[in-house]
């Protein structure tokens, strides 16, 4: 681990304000969100955060300058390296003096205000999480015991209108090749992210989460408008004139619909509850737009009738 003063680019005589300022600049410059195309950014960002955790805290900085802790904040057992009879725990802060060997409590605390700096630079989403649970500047989160939780995994999942209408079970493929089954919620929106707890990468403090972003792909038949669906239905001209019961495909199955007599191509039939699920429960509607269809091949009788009607 490099010397924290060197990492932050400050002199050993730098003031607390100068150290904080140097860290702010590096954190903003190397934050992974600001450098999505630079794989080394996260490494430099973590190094700056580690350095500031040491010399950004008054007590840790003093302990580091005295050689009692290393650049990672780990104690150096200098008593064993010094002269015989020296206190081997000189690098620790001692509490409960006078309690005797059995009652002495050794404690080393982490400090610094890195979380506050992250709140200032990147917004309140970083606030309070720094080094004691929740988000931390090294990426990922920490468990209640302060151990680093594994990284979250992200995947985008294209689903069909039918999948959304039925709240179907679909499968997402992640960058590491894993394939996870995802049960869609009863109500899901385009662009919504579903969190699968504990399905991310494994870390010392437990596994991270898997985040699946849902995208509703364009459908060759249905047009989505809000939660309503619209569809064009080709109806033979004789059925449009005389009226007929026709089978209509919906995302949840076929239904029989009566096309009224003398339905022109501007006729719209409303099928209640055959659209996408709505937040309050139930489904929106499906609108069937009648499109009158002429025969595919010329029809002499129809042509004769058309001429007679024209004349």
pLDDT tens, per residue, the chain with 311 residues? 789 999 999 999 999 999 999 988 888 888 877 787 888 888 888 888 888 889 988 999 999 999 889 888 888 765 544 444 444 444 444 444 444 444 434 343 444 455 455 445 544 444 444 444 444 444 456 665 557 778 888 999 999 999 999 999 999 998 878 888 999 999 999 999 999 998 888 877 788 899 999 999 999 999 999 999 999 999 999 999 999 999 999 999 999 999 999 999 989 999 999 999 999 999 999 999 999 999 888 888 888 988 888 88
Question: Is 131 in the same domain as 77?
Answer: yes
**How far from the centroid of its chain's Cα atoms is residue 285's Cα?**
31
Residue 287: inside a domain: yes
Residue 65: inside a domain: yes
Residue 108: inside a domain: yes
Question: Is 237 in the same domain as 204?
Answer: no
| Assigned token pair, 32 | 């992974």
CATH number of the domain where residue 136 is located: 1.10.287.110
Residue 228: inside a domain: yes
Question: Is 89 in the same domain as 191?
Answer: no
* DSSP code of residue 141: E
| Assigned token pair, 168 | 């179907």
Question: Is 187 in the same domain as 229?
Answer: no
The C-alpha angle with vertex 198 and arms to 196 and 199, in degrees rounded to 5, equals: 65
| Assigned token pair, 237 | 């001209």
Residue 75: inside a domain: yes
CATH number of the domain where residue 212 is located: 2.60.260.20
Question: Is 166 in the same domain as 135?
Answer: no
Question: Is 86 in the same domain as 8?
Answer: yes
In this structure, are strands 228-236 and 244-250 parallel, antiparallel, or unpaired? unpaired
Residue 148: inside a domain: no
pTM of the model: 0.53
Question: Is 280 in the same domain as 199?
Answer: no
Question: Is 110 in the same domain as 233?
Answer: no
CA distance 93 to 62: 12
- pLDDT number for residue 114: 52
Q: Which of 121, 142, 163 is the last residue of a domain?
A: 142
The per-residue b/e assignment along 198-223, b for 16 or more CB within 10 angstroms, e otherwise, is ebbbebebbbbbbbbebebeeeeebe
Residue 147: inside a domain: no
**How far from the centroid of its chain's Cα atoms is residue 121's Cα?**
21
Contact between 55 and 6 under an 8 Å Cβ cutoff? The reply is no
- pLDDT number for residue 104: 39
Structural domain harbouring 25:
4-142
Q: Is 190 helix (H, G, I), strand (E, B) or coil?
A: coil
| Mutual angle of helices 16-30 and 114-122, in 10-degree steps | 50
Q: Which of 194, 216, 238 is the last residue of a domain?
A: 216
Question: Is 89 in the same domain as 31?
Answer: yes
- For the chain, the domain total comes to 3
Question: Is 11 in the same domain as 119?
Answer: yes
Length of the chain: 311
Question: Is 249 in the same domain as 268?
Answer: yes
Q: Which of 142, 168, 196 is the last residue of a domain?
A: 142
Residue 305: inside a domain: yes
Question: Is 131 in the same domain as 169?
Answer: no
């Amino acid at each position: 681990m490099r010397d924290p003063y060197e990492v932050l680019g400050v002199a050993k005589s730098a003031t607390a304000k100068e150290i904080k300022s140097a860290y702010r600049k590096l954190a903003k410059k190397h934050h992974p969100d600001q450098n999505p195309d630079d794989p080394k950014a996260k490494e430099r960002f973590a190094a700056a955060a580690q350095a500031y955790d040491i010399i950004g805290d008054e007590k840790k900085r003093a302990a580091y300058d005295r050689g009692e802790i290393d650049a990672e904040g780990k104690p150096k057992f200098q008593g064993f390296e010094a002269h015989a009879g020296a206190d081997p725990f000189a690098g620790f802060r001692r509490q409960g003096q006078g309690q005797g060997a059995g009652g002495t409590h050794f404690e080393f605390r982490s400090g610094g205000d890195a979380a506050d700096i992250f709140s200032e630079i990147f917004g309140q989403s970083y606030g309070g999480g720094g080094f004691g649970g929740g988000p931390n500047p090294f990426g990922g989160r920490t468990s209640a015991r302060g151990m680093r939780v594994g990284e979250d995994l992200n995947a985008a999942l294209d689903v069909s209108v039918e999948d959304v209408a039925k709240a179907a079970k679909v499968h997402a493929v992640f960058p590491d090749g894993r394939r996870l089954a995802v049960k869609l919620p009863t109500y899901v929106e385009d662009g919504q992210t579903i969190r699968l707890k504990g399905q991310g990468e494994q870390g010392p403090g437990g596994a991270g989460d898997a985040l699946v972003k849902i995208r509703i792909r364009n459908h060759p038949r249905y047009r989505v408008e809000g939660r309503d669906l619209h569809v064009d239905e080709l109806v033979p001209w004789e059925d449009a004139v005389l009226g007929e019961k026709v089978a209509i495909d919906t995302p949840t199955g076929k239904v029989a619909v009566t096309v009224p007599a003398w339905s022109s191509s501007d006729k719209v039939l409303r099928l209640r509850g055959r659209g996408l699920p709505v937040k309050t429960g139930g489904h929106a509607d499906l609108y069937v737009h009648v499109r009158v269809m002429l025969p595919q091949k010329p029809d002499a009788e129809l042509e004769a009738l058309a001429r007679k009607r024209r004349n």
